[in-house]
Each structure stands twice: as C-alpha cells, then as structure tokens.
A and B are shown apart, each in its own frame.
Chain A
C-alpha cells in the first residue's frame, strides 16, 4: 500500500536535503574558489559558482614543483604505510585469534597490545624516541610508529575467529601448518575485512599532516597535507601574538586563496577516487568495529 506524501514528509525531506547540501558546501566553495579570479575570491564574491572563470590557479599549480614533490611523497607514504599496516595486522591477528589452549602466550600478547591502545607515553617522549633513533627526516618516521594498528588487528582477529574451524581442521588433516593455513585458508576468506582496513589505512596515511610537520624538516620530503598546512598557516602563532587584529586581517587577505583552493581540491581527488570503495566496505568496517555481538 502506497501512502501519499503529506506536509510532514516534505518538511523532513527539505530538512534532510539542507543538511545533505551542507556537506557539499565547503567542497563546492573550494572548487568555485579555485576557478575564480583572485580579486573576486579575496573580496568574498565566490559562493558555489566560479566568478570570472579562470584556470590561472591550476596553471600556477602545475608550475609548482613543491606541490608535485609533496604529492609524490604522500603517494609513496600511502603505499609503504598501508602495506606495513596490512602485513602486521594480517600476521598478528592470526595467533591472537587462537584460544589460550591452542596458543599458551596469547593473553600476554593481547594484554600488552591492548595496554598500548589505552595508554601512551605522550607527544614529547615519543618525539624524543624517534629523534634518538635518527628517524627524523626519513619516511620511516611517518610509517613505522603507527605500523602496528592494534584496533585494526583486533577487528581482523574477530573476523578470523568467525571462520569455521572445520576449514582449518581439514587443512591440518592434509598436513598444513599455521603458515599454510593462514596464507591458503584464512587470508582468502578474510579479503573483505582486509580491504576494509586497507581503505582506512589509505585514508589515514593520506590525511595525516602532524607527523610530517614534526618529524620531517626538509621541505622536499614533506607529505602533501603537511605542505598544504604550512601554506594556510603562513602566520606563525608567535608572529601573530605581536600583531593587532587589524594587521592580522590584512595579512590574511593577501593570502593566495585561489591558488590554495586549487591545491586543496587536487589533494581531495584521491579520496574522492576511492570513495565508492570506501562506501562499499566501510559500513561493514564500522559495524564490525563497533557493534560486535
């Protein structure tokens, strides 16, 4: 039976549409900014459509080597970082998915890992450790500290636990050891879960800026988000502390909005490109992580 839409339905739909549209506003605004001329952008004339359409910002961007270097660093970081995340999660989750009877030390490992998830040394000691290890200014400072993601490992472990043990027993009868079972039986079955954590790892690595800011000093080695972050905050807090609000306003106005918007938009493209996959897997991902029965 089909019900006719009444006023309440329309109010709900309009409200939801506004809310949904709000999620597109900043993206549309940035895109419009990137295709507008500098003066209009600085005067705030741009909302959702470009004013005085121009591709000047993009032309300028294509001449900017720093941007592409940073883009390349980020791509490399995502590849290396995600691979490490996956390797550690896949291998560590397997012994942890065993019961205490099957693997005697299982709980000791589990407690250490869970403890590191709940308690950490804090920013300063972590920074000093990485400094001591001479990882500063290397890609390793960006990928190694987070290489073991305990939360993802637990998600995967829970998935492994759900695989019927009959499959594993059958493989054992055929003479397979833990390595063969993991590689030949478990991993092929866990592909969707692995895809989920891979996508999350990609997004996390792509979006991270802070580690690049504190661990990488050489501009040419900084990842994209760190580079963009430095563009927007041209005014250091120390410099700003000594300026009057008027001076700060003037300083902010001369910042290159259209150019920065173009870079911001291009930096979103990889995320938009994997968005359909994210959608496919992340619902299962959150549900796995949050409402495990």
Chain B
C-alpha cells in the first residue's frame, strides 16, 4: 500500500504546475483554430465564421510575407553559422594564452553582454550607430561620409547579425572551453615530440577534439532557424528597414497586436510553430543519432 501513497504524492507534486501548463500552454493551442476562421472578438472562437485555408491563401499573396520569411532565414542562418565559428575561434585562441590570470580576466569579461537585455543594448547601439555616434566619428575621422546605419537597408542586417554574435560569443565559448580543458595534455606532449608546431596542434588535436561539440551545437541550433531574434530586432528596427529587417516574429506582433488582425497573426504564428516543431524534433533526433545526446 506504500506504493499507492507514493504515487498519489507524485501526482500532487506535479498537479499545480500541470494546471498552469494547461492554461498557459495548451489552451492557446486551442486558439490556433482562429487561423482557420474569420475571427471576430465579439463572437469568440465558437461563433466566428470558418474560412478554411483562406487566410493562408491571402497571406501567400502579400509581398511582405515572402520578404519576411527570407529576412528571417537569412538573419537566423547567418547568426547560426557565425554563432558557432566565432566562439570556437575564440576558445581555441584563448587556449593558447599561457598567463592564467589574463585568460580568466578575458573570459570573465566576454560573457558579460550575454546577461544584458536587448532593451539596454539596443539603446547603446542606437547611440553608437547614430548620425553623430561613435562609429560615424570614426568614419569621418578617416575621411568617410557619415551614414545612418540603423535606417539603411544595406547596413541593417549586418549590424543585427554582428551585434548578436558579439552578445553571445563569450557565453557560447564556455562549452567549447570546457571541452578543450578535457583534452588529455599527453596528446599535446606526444605531438610536440613528433615535431608538431602550434598550428599543427590546433588543427590536429584541438579542433578534432571539438568536433563532437560543434556538431552537437549546430544540430541543436537548427531548431532555431525561424527565430531570428525578436527582442533584438524589435528594439533596433524601424519602418525604414522593414525591407531587410522585418522577421516573422515582428510581423506577427504588428499584424496581431497592433493591427488587431487576430486571424492573420495566428496564421503566420501557426506557420512558424509548425515548421519550428518539425525542425526541433528532427534536430533532437539528429543529435541523438550523431552525438548520443538526449535531453531527457
């Protein structure tokens, strides 16, 4: 009888949390039906007219939507690729620094931006990239013409990508540094006896040791391919750069909560959720297959 009592306790431990999950995660999933309706707030989801796939057909015809999907993919993929390369390079180079104090200091500083909010960082970058800001002071000092970077469709995407990589590289590097610390020093010693120089050791010992982690991190990142970074872009963009900087999440926000087109906003959101779901599940499957990684 002991076991039955335990079972009940286990259920009680889970119950309050499950109620919140039901309300705030599962209930909104019911709301997805709005994507297939002409939703009227006054009529609710039970009284609104069903329109089948008409909302999606309309969306396909919007020139914005195509643009938004392209922007999302370009920005997210660039962030993903650089978001792996930069931390790996940083970790490998940091490993070359002999002075332990210097190494620790640098490591401590680089992950600071990760913990600051995009609201604050966007404000800083708006100052730095403004017409009279630091970057333009530098440009004019070298004889260039000042540019309004954040409202320029040429510069907006690169700035978004670089500032994001900048914010996160120190944090991401921690995992690679942990892997590097785990490399058997005997490997390097053996390499030295064989006459390997610094470069050889980097290419033939350090990088191969990181291969597993790199593959794992890239695979897991696949699930984020439709997440181009709402918080960042929302705080840095303006209508002047919608052409190159508007992404699915910002579009859903404006469509759904600013223009109050509930059905359209839900439809775009649903598109994102479904594609992301497929990507996340596949990425976990791949991670399990290639790296034996299992989150639960």
Instruction: Give the docked Cα–Cα distance between A17 and B270 (Å).
Output: 45
Given the complex, which residues of B lie within 8 Å of A128, measured CB to CB?
A: 28, 31, 262
Bits for B115-159, please: 1 = Cβ < 8 Å to A, else 0: 111111111111110111110110000000000100100000000
A116 nearest CB neighbor, chain B only:
B25
Instruction: Give the docked Cα–Cα distance between A288 and B137 (Å).
Output: 44
Q: A88-B20, A122-B266, A125-B34 are in contact. Are A177 and B6 (CB under 8 A)?
A: yes
Instruction: Give the docked Cα–Cα distance between A268 and B16 (Å).
Output: 34
CB < 8 Å neighbour of A125 from B130, B179, B266? B266
Q: A46-B134, A203-B115, A240-B239 are in contact. List 13 more A-B contacts (CB 8 A).
A: A9-B98, A13-B102, A27-B116, A102-B6, A122-B32, A122-B272, A123-B269, A124-B256, A129-B24, A228-B119, A260-B123, A261-B127, A291-B213
The total of interchain contacts (Cβ-Cβ below 8 angstroms) comes to: 286
A118–B277 contact, CB under 8 A? yes
Instruction: List 14 A-B residue pairs with CB atoms under 8 Å apart, sorted by A's residue number.
Output: A24-B112, A26-B113, A29-B128, A120-B25, A122-B269, A144-B24, A207-B118, A208-B117, A210-B234, A225-B120, A264-B120, A283-B178, A291-B216, A292-B294
B124–A29 contact, CB under 8 A? yes
CB < 8 Å neighbour of B13 from A22, A29, A91? A91
A290–B296 contact, CB under 8 A? no
A124–B34 contact, CB under 8 A? yes
Across the A-B interface, give the 9 residue pairs with the lowest CB-CB distance, nearest first.
A125-B31, A122-B269, A121-B28, A44-B132, A207-B117, A95-B10, A124-B256, A26-B124, A125-B28
CB < 8 Å neighbour of B178 from A29, A129, A228, A287? A287
A178–B116 contact, CB under 8 A? no
B11 to chain A, nearest CB (A): 7
Q: A123-B257, A145-B24, A267-B120 are in contact. Are A20 and B106 (CB under 8 A)?
A: yes
A237 within 8 A of B: yes
Bits for A112-147, please: 1 = Cβ < 8 Å to B, else 0: 111010111111111111100100000000001111
B121–A26 contact, CB under 8 A? yes
Instruction: Give the docked Cα–Cα distance between A29 and B138 (Å).
Output: 14
A94–B13 contact, CB under 8 A? yes
B50 within 8 A of A: no
CB < 8 Å neighbour of B117 from A19, A43, A92, A225? A225
Bits for B1-44, please: 1 = Cβ < 8 Å to A, else 0: 00001110111011011101101111111111010000000000
Bits for A240-277, please: 1 = Cβ < 8 Å to B, else 0: 11000100110011000100110010011001000100
A44 nearest CB neighbor, chain B only:
B132
B262–A23 contact, CB under 8 A? no
A182 nearest CB neighbor, chain B only:
B13
B231 within 8 A of A: yes
A78 within 8 A of B: no
Bits for B39-79, please: 1 = Cβ < 8 Å to A, else 0: 00000000000000000000000000000000000000000
A147–B20 contact, CB under 8 A? yes
A44–B134 contact, CB under 8 A? yes
Which residues of B are interface residues toward A (Cβ below 8 A)? 5-7, 9-11, 13-14, 16-18, 20-21, 23-32, 34, 90, 93-94, 96-98, 102, 105-106, 108-113, 115-128, 130-134, 136-137, 148, 151, 166, 170-171, 174-175, 178-179, 198, 213, 216-217, 220, 223, 230-231, 234-235, 238-240, 249, 252-254, 256-257, 262, 265-266, 269-270, 272-273, 276-277, 280-281, 293-296
A179 within 8 A of B: yes
B116–A44 contact, CB under 8 A? no
A154 within 8 A of B: yes
A51 to chain B, nearest CB (A): 12
Chain A, interface residues (CB within 8 Å), range: 35 or more
Given the complex, which residues of A lie within 8 Å of B130, measured CB to CB?
A: 44, 252
Q: A19-B90, A98-B10, A177-B6 are in contact. Are A129 and B123 (CB under 8 A)?
A: no
Given the complex, which residues of A lie within 8 Å of B257, measured CB to CB?
A: 123-124, 127, 214
Give the segment of A54-62, A103-111, A189-197 that binds chain B.
A103-111
Instruction: Give the docked Cα–Cα distance between A123 and B295 (Å).
Output: 26
B21–A157 contact, CB under 8 A? no
Bits for A59-88, please: 1 = Cβ < 8 Å to B, else 0: 000000000000000000000000000001
Instruction: Give the docked Cα–Cα distance between A237 and B259 (Å).
Output: 12
Q: A26-B125, A268-B120 are in contact. Are A177 and B9 (CB under 8 A)?
A: yes
Given the complex, which residues of A lie within 8 Å of B252, measured CB to CB?
A: 122-124
